[in-house]
A and B are shown apart, each in its own frame.
Chain A
Amino acid sequence: KNQVEQSPQSLIILEGKNCTLQCNYTVSPFSNLRWYKQDTGRGPVSLTIMTFSENTKSNGRYTATLDADTKQSSLHITASQLSDSASYICTNTDKLIFGTGTRLQVFP
């Protein structure tokens, strides 16, 4: 069964700290994987797209990695800010299967 699973479900960190969110997928064949950020009460917004040939991609303080062999992707947030508080969702772009998301809360 094609699935996208994320961990942890929720995460609380202090402002300025780093964190890593995980996404495991069993979608086959693999196409591409996209990370979205969803602020409370709003629709998801794309952060980055990872294609099969890419291992690492950065977008400011966000760095996404992809290991096609283990079918894992991660989103690393550096020097977290209060505005990073949101849910982060990964999705297979071909079949549009969305993970359940990780809810990140950053406290001062």
Chain B
Amino acid sequence: NAGVTQTPKFQVLKTGQSMTLQCAQDMNHEYMSWYRQDPGMGLRLIHYSVGAGITDQGEVPNGYNVSRSTTEDFPLRLLSAAPSQTSVYFCASSYRRTSGALSSYNEQFFGPGTRLTVL
């Protein structure tokens, strides 16, 4: 199993450009999510999906779009890149998203990350 894969590894964009960060998992996980990681801050949730065809916003969704047409893939689209979107982006998946005591099953499996710079 490859686990969670992300492409590209590095990307430089100019302000206003658009691009798609790819994420795929081969573990048949229901739940997938996108995070950004900035210096001095914890991982922040951008968007998530609890299954194919279902997506929802996280803590910092502005400027990003997602879709989930298959269980395996969960691309993140930057519509018009801004310097504030310079960050490291991580895709993650888990078997499912549960709450309360059962949330111990919410082990997130992370991809290797995409380092994005917006000039």
Question: Are A94's CB and B41's CB within 8 A?
Answer: no
In the bound complex, residues from chain A placing their C-beta under 8 Å from that of B104 are 31-32, 34, 49, 51, 93
* Nearest chain A residue, comparing its CB with the CB of B100: A31
B:12-38 near A, CB below 8 Å = 33, 35
Are B42 and A99 neighbours in the complex by a CB distance under 8 Å?
A: yes
Q: Which residue of A lies closest to B38 (CB)?
A: A100
Whole-angstrom distance between the Cβ of B37 and the nearest chain A Cβ:
9
Chain B residues with CB under 8 Å of A42's CB are: 112-113
A94 vs B94: C-alpha distance when bound (angstroms)? 13
Smallest beta-carbon distance A60→chain B, Å: 17
Residue on A nearest B42 in the bound complex, by CB? A98
Q: Determine the chain B residues whose CB is within 8 A of the CB of A31 once the complex forms.
A: 99-101, 103-104
By size class, the interface of chain B is: 20 to 34
* Smallest CB separation, A67 vs chain B (Å): 18
CA distance A101 to B112 in the complex (A): 17
B106 adjacent to chain A (CB < 8 Å): yes
Specify which of A34, A43, A91, A97 is in contact with B113 (CB 8 Å cutoff).
Answer: A43
Residues of A with C-beta under 8 A to B113: 41-43
User: Does B107 lie within 8 Å of A49, measured CB to CB?
Assistant: yes
User: Is B92 close to A, CB under 8 A?
Assistant: yes
In the complex, what distance in Å separates the CA atom of A91 from the CA atom of B110? 14
Residue pairs across A and B with Cβ atoms less than 8 A apart, 16 shown, are: A4-B42, A29-B100, A32-B106, A41-B113, A43-B112, A46-B107, A49-B104, A51-B104, A91-B42, A94-B99, A94-B103, A96-B33, A96-B45, A96-B106, A98-B35, A101-B42
